[in-house]
Amino acid sequence: MKLMAIDGNSILNRAYYGIRPLSTRDGLYTHAIYGFLTTLLRLRDEEQPDAVCVAFDLHAPTFRHKADESYKATRKPMPEELRMQVPVLKEVLDALNIPRYEAEGWEADDWLGTISRRCEAEGWDCVVVTGDKDSLQLITEKTKVKLVSTRMGQTTTKDMTPESFREQYGFDPIHMIDLKALMGDSSDNIPGVPGVGEKTAMDLIQKYGSIDTIYEKLPDIEAKPAAIKKLTEGEESARHSYWLATIVTDAPLDFNPEVNAVKAPGPDAYSLFLKLEFSKLIERFDLRQGAPALAESERISVAASVEQVTSAAKAGELLELWRNADHISLLALPDLSGVAVYCATGGDTAVMSELFFDRYQGNWNHLLASLFSGDIKKVSHNVKDLMRLLLLNNLPAEGFIFDTALAAYLLDATAGSYDLGRLFVSYFNEELPKPLYLDPDAFALLGDRAAAEASFDSCATAVDALYDALAPKLRERGQQELFETIELPLCRCLAEMELAGCRVDAKALSDFGELLSRRAKDLEAKIYHLADGEFNINSPKQLGEILFDRLGLPHGKKTKTGWSTNADVLEKLRWESPIVDAVLEYRQLTKLKSTYADGLLKALDPDGRVRTSFQMTVTATGRLSSTEPNLQNIPTRTDLGSEIRKMFVPEPGNVLVDADYSQIELRLLAHISGDEGMRAAFLSGGDFHAETASKVFGVAREDVTHEMRRRAKAVNFGIVYGISAFSLGQDIGVSQKEAKAYMDAYFATFPGVRSYMDRVVEQAKADGYVETLYHRRRDLPELASSNFNLRSFGQRVALNMPIQGTAADIMKLAMIAVWKRLKSELPRAKLVLQVHDELIVECPEGDARRAAVLLAEEMEGVAHLSVPLTADAYWGKNWLEAKG
DNA sequence: GTAATCACG
DNA sequence: ACGTACGTGATTACT
């Protein structure tokens, strides 16, 4: 039989510092608890114990069993974000039926010591789980210590048995106490022998085993005379330290391992986990059995009466009902073969309608066309995707007044996921039946219409419930206008862009792919020759071995798994060996081949166009992102990469028109900070980076060299990202000191920028969030963190988000404006792409000039800043040409 | 599934 | 003293 005893404080601590912060919507931090539970699960799987319990420290202010006034005085107080998690973890453990041990004035160690000895007395094995090396003294033949460490979110454990301990330390585990008695431990306030450190202490214990033996033999021991003197003088302290370092093994505890036998979780666990938003852990702890199904929730059982539409007359009735309703909430199956509509009809009543068109006998096209026309106000989840589906089927896509996914994104842009099920748990602490139909793959693979139907109606009802919850919150936070004038109208614009797609010259692309292959093959042979053997060049591990071990090149930065082989590092090694250049070029070629040549060809639709999906709820700043394929990272920085842009072409007779904002982020920095010098630089209309260089380096405008401009440009970008001198130096290849001088000069030149940076961070600390000019918000719990790195990250984000985010807002407004004007003035022109500060339109050749003018006008006119906002537009027969 | 790398703004 | 720029997505290797 085996018992696993966990040091609760130690594991919680490690989880807290090892995992990035996570909190529920109402501000309760949960990452330490989450980390604790995943560690618990892992260790339980690994050890398969028959019993589990957890021990906690509990310090009474007035009583300490180790009567030392300053005991633990040097320990830092627990950060508030961790302290708040302790009682909740205890609640969780109680709910899981895992016994815990704690009492005033006792430490977790003392319980672990006592528990392990009682286990042994009962003939049980014991596994002590802790991150604290103090506990190693408890190791015996029947008790092992599992040392846990959490680094970068990764938990690793090391089993310490008498053998492995002796192998590592060279003495028996029990003499860990003697070691501490000599060397002391500042975090536990154990003095040890003054002047004796880890090295001397280890050496002595390895030779003599215990302090008793050492003091018996004094002064005739093998040690330096100075050490002998310190030991003699420090005997009293050593004896006292021994006592302090000894873990109690006979605490007053009536302990029986049987009582801790593993039990099933109790009835409260499920709701508690829902409250903490631990959906994944609900599965892993298997908490769902016996839980009430969602359908029993009050909101839904009162509201819905489900009926299916089977006649044209019925359809007419429903349309009438929907037209007169304040709004309806609906969801559609991904192939549009079914729609679920929830319609509140006053008081506590509602009509829930499920339309499945393979069964429906009447003219359902008419029903759909009416449903999605402008005179029925609709709420849905992921409106852009639904609009794309509707437009694809030549149906109208009007009258959408709310999108629950978009609203939830505006309320918390860093939540990461906005699927209906998760939102519902987060807002109502209840689970939705798994919305099978929302996952097109699951639906297609299973062909399980029955399962989809079973959850369909409750999901439409959930959309309505979320609308009621989210809409007032948007208003409270002043984000209604952002929602109504930017996010929601953009859905239609993006749906049309996705549908339009971009034409790609497939033949040219596959020819280019062939060329890349041939050149990569040549390089591969060359690399094998230079390396004196074959290996996988694409494996950073194998490449590192070849470069740094076999060829003995000097290594630079390290990664978690070995030496870095990234382009930055290799760049510095170019002169060391010709293999480096070959590898760099090989990387470039294979990247172009696999991601762009092959990748785009794979994504090509039969009509020769690629259709990306624009994601509206992914970035923390408000930008869009592009997936499957990503068309926002098509190469442009190298000549070879630019070849790919030549493959993006219009239909015959058309051209591509490309318009991009000029330095929109820096202009926004000038506007938001109000720095007069920076504003003047933009108002003068010259080359801003050169202008900056002239001011920062104190030379006349015409004396600015290429290198000075390059450096000034890097500083400008660095400022927007929340710079540090170190990274700036790295980036432009100067010393940290020199970089610091540039920054000082920069801030002296633009003092308003520095005061803005201070101001925005202060404000963010006070508010807990930052926002854009249009009230897009990003929460910043990182600023309150006790972790230096996280806090610094929070500060950089506080500087960057309002700028990057406002630029994103402005671009979205511009897209809406451009879309509207194109629709009325140049109906044959279509927006096809957005790349953050760049818009691309495809239109007939004859419309090119007017489209270019229109683009620039709308992009420039959409915001009124205290500096000019400028956009440049060109056109051409492919994307590269259109970049001007 | 995670890590490393590299493409973009 | 800390450890090192903001925001993304796709591919490949490897556990």
Residue A773 has which token pair? 């000019």
Enumerate long-range contacts of A278-287, CB under 8 Å, 24 or more apart. A278/A30, A278/A34, A278/A37, A279/A421, A279/A422, A279/A425, A279/A431, A281/A34, A281/A37, A281/A38, A281/A41, A282/A431, A284/A41, A285/A37, A285/A41, A285/A96
- The answer to whether A155 CB is within 7 Å of strand C is no
User: Which protein residue's Cα is closest to nucleotide C11 at C1'?
Assistant: A595
3-class DSSP state for residue A210? coil
Neighbour count for residue A789 (Cβ, 10 Å): 9
Say yes or no: Cβ of A561 under 7 A from any atom of strand B. Answer: yes
Paired residues of A106 in beta bridges: A58
The series of mean pLDDT values per 10 residues for chain A, 884 residues long, is 95 81 80 90 90 87 40 60 91 96 90 95 95 92 88 71 93 94 85 88 92 88 87 91 93 91 92 87 78 38 50 84 96 85 86 75 79 97 96 96 97 92 87 65 48 74 94 97 98 97 96 96 96 94 94 88 92 93 96 96 96 96 96 96 97 98 97 96 94 93 94 93 88 90 94 95 95 96 86 94 97 98 98 97 98 98 97 97 93
What is the DSSP secondary structure assignment for residue A105, as one 8-state letter? T
CA closest to C14 C1', residue: A539
Nucleotide nearest to A805 (CA to C1'): C7
CB-based burial label for A719 (10 Å; 0-12, 13-18, 19+): buried
Sign of CA dihedral A603, A607, A610, A616: negative
User: CA nearest A305: which of A321, A281, A291?
Assistant: A321
Q: Residue A593 — φ and ψ, nearest 5°?
A: -65, -50
Task: Give the pLDDT confidence score for residue A444 in this predicted structure.
Answer: 43
User: What pTM, to 2 d.p., does this model score?
Assistant: 0.86
A85 CA to B9 C1' distance (Å): 39
User: Nearest nucleotide to A541 by CA–C1' distance?
Assistant: C13
Give SS3 for A833. Answer: strand
Bridge partners, residue A79, by sequence: none
What pLDDT was estimated at residue A436?
A: 58
* Predicted pLDDT of residue A345: 86
At residue A183, φ and ψ (nearest 5 deg) are: -85, -20
Percent helix, strand, coil in chain A, to 5, is: 55, 15, 30
- CB A797 under 7 Å to nucleic chain B: no
Of the candidates A688, A702, A665, the one whose C-alpha atom is nearest the C-alpha of residue A800 is: A665
In the structure encoding, which two tokens stand for residue A509, read together? 């692309």
Whether the beta carbon of A162 falls within 7 A of nucleic chain B: the reply is no
> Does nucleic acid strand C have an atom less than 7 angstroms from the CB of A568?
no
**A275-279: long-range contacts at Cβ-Cβ below 8 A with a sequence spacing of 24 or more?**
A275/A24, A275/A429, A276/A24, A276/A28, A276/A30, A276/A33, A276/A34, A276/A88, A276/A92, A277/A24, A277/A25, A277/A30, A277/A422, A277/A425, A277/A426, A278/A30, A278/A34, A278/A37, A279/A421, A279/A422, A279/A425, A279/A431
SS (H, E, C) A738-760: HHHHHHHHHHHHCHHHHHHHHHH
Q: Which two tokens stand for residue A429?
A: 């602490």
Residue A195 has a pLDDT of: 87
| Distance of alpha carbon A813 from alpha carbon A656, whole angstroms | 21
Contacts of A173 by beta carbon, 8 Å cutoff, 6+ apart: A136, A137, A138, A139, A140, A160, A162, A165, A166
d(CA A181, CA A236): 10
With distances taken from each CA to the C1' atom of nucleotide C13, the closest residue turns out to be: A539
A558 CB-to-strand B distance under 7 Å: no
SS3 A714: helix
Residue nearest to nucleotide C12 (CA to C1'): A538
- Rg for chain A (alpha carbons), in Å? 33
Reference A171, options A222, A211, A230, A125; nearest CA is: A211
By C1' distance from the Cα of A836, the closest nucleotide is B9
User: Helix A225-233 crosses helix A235-245 at what angle (to 10 degrees)?
Assistant: 70
Nearest protein residue to nucleotide B5 (CA to C1' distance) is A566
Which residue shows structure tokens 């009835």? A267
Q: DSSP H helical segments within A532-577, as ranges?
A: 540-544, 567-572
The torsion region of residue A286 among left (phi > 0), alpha (psi -120 to 50) and beta comes to left
* CB A597 under 7 Å to nucleic chain B: no
Q: What is the reported pLDDT for A595?
A: 96
Is nucleic acid strand C under 7 Å from A587's C-beta?
no
| Strand C positions closer than 7 A to protein CB | 1-14
Distance CA A766, CA A761 (A): 9
The answer to whether the beta carbon of residue A559 comes closer than 7 angstroms to any atom of strand C is no
Tokens of A818: 């451009």
Our measurement of the distance from residue A214's CA atom to the centroid of its chain's CA atoms, rounded to an integer in Å, reads 54
A835 touches strand C (CB under 7 A): no
Dihedral of the alpha carbons of A787, A793, A797, A799, in degrees to the nearest 10: 100
A596, A634 Cβ separation under 8 angstroms: yes
pLDDT of A76 reads 61
CB A22 within 8 A of CB A426: no
Contact (CB, 8 A) for A790 and A798: no
- How distant is the alpha carbon of residue A672 from its chain centre? 28
CB A657 within 8 A of CB A851: yes
**Residue A638 approaches strand B within 7 Å at CB:** yes
CA atoms within 13 Å, Cβ hemisphere of A504: 27
- Between CA A792 and C1' C4 the distance (Å) reads 10
Q: What pLDDT, on the 0 to 100 scale, is given for residue A346?
A: 81
Instruction: Say if CB A457 and CB A464 are below 8 A apart.
Output: no
Total residue count of chain A as it appears in this document: 884
Helices (H), A656-698: 664-673, 676-683, 688-696
- Asked if A137 contacts A161 with a C-beta cutoff of 8 angstroms, the reply is no
Report the candidate in A608, A391, A606 with the shortest Cα–Cα distance to residue A494.
A391
A684-693 per-residue burial string, b: 16 or more CB within 10 A, e: under 16: eeeebbbbbb
Provide the token pair at A712.
């000034």
Indicate yes or no: strand C within 7 A of the C-beta of A737.
no
Q: Residue A163: CB partners within 8 Å, gap ≥ 6?
A: none
